[in-house]
Structure 1
């Protein structure tokens, strides 16, 4: 077996383990569909988090994994239209956690914000939740969306909200056609599972959920600007940069 085949086989094992883990301990706000004939391409359905502009939305995306995963990051692309500062117009997601672990002082990213082999699909999905509600407008992928978002936040200009809500309504029609019941309340949105006592996976305990923790952490994220900031991603550290 050559080194390339060995690397690909290692990626297959890693992805199989991750899929099994996500099936037994799901991430709230997402559905995952994987054809085991092609483990390097995952289809994802993203539910808009309650109490955000995206509430009730159903946004589809794909995650493509390289043959040397997890040593190199996957890429993620929305196949549903998403108007967002950190999503390119072609749907590509631009977020620090998906950037290769290279030394690039020009990017403005710290090494700890980029991909490393300890990251996983779970951490990517949780970062996307944070990114939807807290974009990084300092180095956007979609400049027009970024400008519009700032005007909405700072001047209450309704244009950004109007576009997002139109996309949410369009996505609801897709969900309905596919028989998908989109959760719209926090109780419906939160997935309950009980991890072993020695594991603490993003606060998702049987009586709590990541969404609750995110709502609390979001209030303090702006005060954190070192490598020890929230693992869920905030608007300055785990969100996209200008180059993908």
Structure 2
């Protein structure tokens, strides 16, 4: 049986969907139950600082909440390739395409951070102790990493409650659904009827007739002056 430590976020999402299907349409002879504690989230604050020449230089990100993670320094600074300047450093182990470039955005930064939190990079850790603990936990030989993270998650929920934030506790709550923007055409909000169009056309015709009358009067006046 695969250990819980090696279960990725993608697998959790897939298993969550399958669990619901099995509960709504059970298999004969089986009773399905699951402990979804590992789906519960935490509340971790962070600051992103943007340089004056953004987007040509990368921003920096720092966690304000204590995070025990292989790629987060003790002071909260996040170490991630996408926020590293685009310099040629063969000793870093990073490809140039993995580093910052002006086509990146806040959205790509956040997506990369979420991916890194789910799947830490232990090849070049910012927190060596956390990296060692994470590898042991993933191998199933030591649960200390999970213990520390769970405690931080529980502590963060108290801070979330203080700030009036509701922490997602299911995959459905965690994944914000995107709603397409409503079609906002001002013409669609106007109800035209035949009378309106008729009155509008009549007004135009009246204005044209008055204009023609004015022109005729001017012609008559001009003719009287010549006589």
Query: In 2, are the aligned partners of 1:52 and 1:133 still within 8 Å (CA)?
Result: no
User: How much has 1:144 moved relative to structure 2?
Assistant: 0.2
CA distances 1:48-105 after superposition (whole Å, capped 9, x unpaired): xxx7958320000000000000000000000000000000000000000000011111
CA distances 1:175-203 after superposition (whole Å, capped 9, x unpaired): 0011100111111111122458xxxxxxx
Identify the residue that residue 40 of structure 2 maps to in structure 1. 55
Correspondence for 1:181 among 166, 174, 179: 166
Identify the residue that residue 122 of structure 1 maps to in structure 2. 107
Identify the residue that residue 68 of structure 2 maps to in structure 1. 83
Q: Distance in 2 between matches of 1:172 and 1:157?
A: 25
Correspondence for 1:163 among 123, 148, 164: 148
Query: In 1, are the aligned partners of 2:39 and 2:169 still within 8 Å (CA)?
Result: no
Give the count of matched residue pairs. 146
Query: In 2, are the aligned partners of 1:64 and 1:75 still within 8 Å (CA)?
Result: yes
Larger % of strand: which?
A: 1
Q: How does 1:225-240 map to 2 (within 5 A)?
A: none
Q: Distance in 1 between matches of 2:64 and 2:121?
A: 21
Q: Distance in 2 between matches of 1:195 and 1:167?
A: 36
What is the aligned-residue RMSD (CA, Å)?
1.6
Identify the residue that residue 139 of structure 1 maps to in structure 2. 124
So what's the TM-score if we normalise by structure 1?
A: 0.57
> Higher relative contact order by CA 8 Å / sep ≥ 6: 1 or 2?
1
Identify the residue that residue 234 of structure 1 maps to in structure 2. none
Q: Distance in 2 between matches of 1:52 and 1:141?
A: 28
Larger radius of gyration: 2
**What secondary structure sits across from 2:164 in the alignment?**
coil
CA 1:94–1:185 in structure 2 vs 1: closer, same or farther (change >3 Å)?
A: same
CA distances 1:144-179 after superposition (whole Å, capped 9, x unpaired): 000000000113411000000000000000000111
Q: How does 1:1-244 map to 2 (within 5 A)?
A: 55-194=40-179
Which structure 2 segments of 5+ residues have no match? 1-35, 182-227
Larger % of helix: which?
A: 2
**What secondary structure sits across from 2:61 in the alignment?**
strand
Q: Distance in 2 between matches of 1:107 and 1:100?
A: 12
Which structure 1 segments of 5+ residues have no match? 1-50, 197-244
